[in-house]
Structure 1
Amino acid sequence: MDTILVVNAGSSSVKFQIFAVDANARLDRVLKGQVDGIGSRPRLRATRASGETLADRAYPVEAIMDVPAALAVASSWLREELRITPLAVGHRVVHGGPDYAKPVAVDHGVVTRLERFEPLAPLHQRHNLAPIKSLLANYPALPQVACFDTAFHRRHDAVADSYAIPYRLYEEGVRRYGFHGLSYEYIARALPTLAPDVAGGRVIVAHLGSGASMCALRAGRSIESTMGFTALDGLAMGTRPGQLDPGVVLYLIMAKGMSPDEVQTFLYRDCGLKGLSGASNDMRELLVSHDPHAAFSVEYFVYRIGLFAGFLAAALEGLDAFVFTAGIGENSDAIRTRIGDRLKWLGVSLDETENARNALKISRPDSGIPVYVIPTDEERMIAEHTVSLLWTARSHANSERAS
């Protein structure tokens, strides 16, 4: 069985999936798993696509102290126990910067260029690159593909991507990139099948999870996003503040005496829902809490989504559909209800029963704007991009041999 390995590495976990691929490049998910608790309480968990448990093993802390060690454990398990040796590996990389507008085959030069963007995605980039560098060192002949969360947004008009700062900074790469692109790309590809009546129109997609953003699609193409230069911008998130006056950063440095490193840690780890509530960044906990600060954090989250819906509808010059996706968007009918109330001015009217059961279409038949819940699948997008590049490379190699 030919397979593709998809890797999504974070600071304390490495998530992975295996897809079988046939001669026509069709993909079938075989299993998914993760190694979490890196450096604290390491554990390997994996299930078949059907949900059947394949592995659930704890390891001593010294056995898995970092991301490369976690990848080594997962790779060994796949190779030695399941006899799976992938044809190629696809990786999620958060920031592609100005250099990469589409997935790319990885070599040492690509890694070096991507390392330049670590300060722009400190929660992700270094950890995304760690397994790539490990595989380059240990399996240099294994094809690897980097798939970027910024790439889907790179066709924005310059007026949407620019800040009102000197143009030389834009040329250096200081611009609005947008993120969660793999998720939005999946939704854009799913719409013609799941909601063909609106797929070619003006659609707002709300990717709501611990990281949250919104995207304006016109005919399946991203034209505007709530996120910008970094993944701090836009909506309030689990621990990130979202839209923030730059003067606040200056105040933290000049009046509060915080160093740049302290400001970075503060903005990425201590703000958002966690900062507003003073207790938690987990929406499930906040929704059931009786603490007024928790209630306020939820209210703020919903309020800002309503504001940005107006912003994106203006960019689209109208609206034909609204889509919820990602952890909160797919699973919290309570949050969707509150957002639906905020969007009544746009013509949104939710069906209480359909919303409660997380149906595909959760708006009433007489709603002016149809509203959908579509589970995202970033891993499948990565697998598709990896297979596409792999098959293209094989085709070029065969052509060269034939000539």
Structure 2
Amino acid sequence: MAAVLVVNAGSSSLKLSVLDDDDRVLAQRHLERWDGSGGVAEFLADAPPVAAVGHRVVHGGPDFPGPAVLDAGTRERIERLTDLAPLHQPRALAGVDAVTEHLPDVPQVACFDTSFHHTMPGFAATYAVPREWRDWGLRRYGFHGLSHAYASRRAVDLAGGSLVVTCHLGAGCSLAAVRDGRSVDTTMGFTPLSGLVMATRSGDVDPGLLVWLLRHGKVDPEQLEDGLEHRSGLLGLAGSADLRDIHRAGTPEAALAVDVFVHRLRQGIAAMAASLGGMDLLVFTGGVGEHDAEVRARTAAGLGFLGVELDAGRNADRSGDQRVSTEDARVGVWVVEAREDVEIARGVRHALTA
């Protein structure tokens, strides 16, 4: 297959890239602030011809265990899942529509962040809630699957091993427990709100807390959603959603925010290792995972009992995909560049040649 255009539409950003058969980037553009309009046509004006297009779609619900060729029916099924990922799903569909307008004859494929986690066993995916709630589709889906799939496979290719805990740390944060290339557990659930502390999302909170807020009229459902999605996490703790700013701030609130972030991250990694029954590799990826040496060092410092030990020099002066643990550490700790584009292109080729 010739070149593939990858469209990665985030909640507020747009990443466009063209990859050849060897996953070399032929052209790329990253819009940090994207409102769902523009960007695609301008990129395509100078980009090389493409044979297919792959889109990152955050939520595939129960119906998409793998990449799906896009047509009117597939688009409609994706749109029906919007209330499960209200920040992301509309932007993905905006990307689909923009490509359809400018490349109407080029096949498009949706690649879902939830698909990788379809292999989780029932006991990991099931909530202990009333049966009728489960019949409504309430279960743990997991997210960031494209990133977890690539990072775990890349680390195994570099270092070997079969039990991998991947840490996708960016504006959104999640962990995955991966055994022999298959997800067996993850920290996100029915929506991308649960699990770790994130930039503006709360991660796990006591459900009773939410009931209390609603019952006592402190917030209405819209305010509750806004608070959990947009005003919590690091922003709620420190007044900034960017860990770089928080590290520099030097305030008690900033120190607490980092402490909470790292505490929950260490807890989550230990839980993922328990789900695997051990850990061969611990992998950091995503903007924070790749570039925040302090977070990696502080996280690892609390995981020595699992066999995690960082090499301070490697951790501080990292370049490319690199091992940052000591040579004799029982668990290999790696930093891997996030390459969702490679995983999406791989999914496109599979979907169109299967």
Question: Normalising by the residue count of structure 1, what TM-score does the alignment of the two structures yield?
Answer: 0.83
Quickly say closer, same or farther: Cα 1:311–1:106, change in 2 above 3 A: same
**Alignment partner for residue 171 of structure 2, among 191, 194, 210?**
210
Question: Offset of 1:151 from its aligned partner?
Answer: 0.3
Question: What is the aligned partner in structure 2 of residue 27 from structure 1?
Answer: 23
Q: What is the one-letter code of the residue matched to 2:82?
A: E
Of 39, 42, 51, 1:87 maps to 51
What code does the residue aligned with 1:34 have?
H
Which SS does the other structure have where 2:295 is aligned? helix
Contact 2:152–2:166 under 8 Å retained in 1: no
Q: Which residue of the partner structure matches residue 328 of structure 2?
A: 366
Mapped pair 1:310 → 2:276? no
Call closer, same or farther: CA 1:11–1:72 in 2, change over 3 Å: farther
Alignment counterpart, residue 328 of structure 1, candidates 284, 288, 307: 288
| Runs of at least 5 residues in structure 1 that lack an aligned partner in the other structure | 39-65, 393-403
Contact 1:178 1:231 in 2 (8 A): yes
Does 1 or 2 have the higher relative contact order (CA < 8 Å, sep 6+)? Answer: 2
User: 2:350 corresponds to which residue?
Assistant: 388
For the residue of structure 2 that corresponds to 1:227, the secondary structure is: coil
After the TM superposition, which residues 149-298 of structure 1 pair with which residues of structure 2 at under 5 Å, given as runs?
A: 149-196=113-160, 198=161, 200=162, 202-277=163-238, 279-298=239-258
CA distance in 2, matches of 1:170, 1:151: 19
Task: Give yes or no for contact 1:95–1:148 (8 Å, CA) kept in 2.
Answer: yes
Find the counterpart in structure 1 of residue 82 from structure 2.
118
**Counterpart among 348, 356, 360 of residue 308 in structure 2:** 348
- Matched residue SS, 1:366: coil
Secondary structure in 1 aligned to 2:110? strand
Would the aligned equivalents of 2:164 and 2:281 in 1 still touch at CA under 8 Å? Answer: yes
Q: How much has 1:248 moved relative to structure 2?
A: 1.9
Distance change >3 Å, CA 12–CA 349, structure 1 → 2: closer
Compared CA separation, residues 27 and 367, structure 1 to 2 (3 A): closer
Cα deviation 1:307-347 (Å, max 9, x = unaligned)? 11221121112222211111111111111110011112212
Kept after mapping to 2: 8 A contact 1:111/1:133: no
Q: Is the 8 A contact 2:164 2:177 kept in 1?
A: yes
How far apart, CA to CA, are the structure 2 residues paired with 1:10 and 1:390?
24
Distance 1:373 1:260 in 2: 39
Bigger radius of gyration:
1
Unaligned runs of 5+ in 2: none
Deviates more, 1:163-172 or 1:110-119: 163-172
Deviates more, 1:350-359 or 1:220-229: 350-359
CA distance 1:364–1:225, shift in 2 (3 Å): same
Cα pair 2:10 2:91 within 8 Å, conserved:
yes
Query: Would you say how many aligned residue pairs link Structure 1 and Structure 2?
Result: 352
Select which of 54, 67, 90 maps to 2:36.
67
Are 1:11 and 1:67, in contact at CA under 8 Å, matched by a contact in 2? Answer: no
Counterparts of 1:282 and 1:184 in 2: how far apart (Å)?
22
Against the structure 1 CA distance between its residues 11 and 190, is the aligned structure 2 distance closer, same or farther, given a 3 Å change threshold? closer
Partners of 1:302 and 1:12 lie apart in 2 by: 25
**TM-score (norm. length: structure 2):** 0.94
State the match for 2:60 in structure 1: 96
Q: Would the aligned equivalents of 1:107 and 1:136 in 2 still touch at CA under 8 Å? A: no
3-state secondary structure, aligned to 1:293: helix
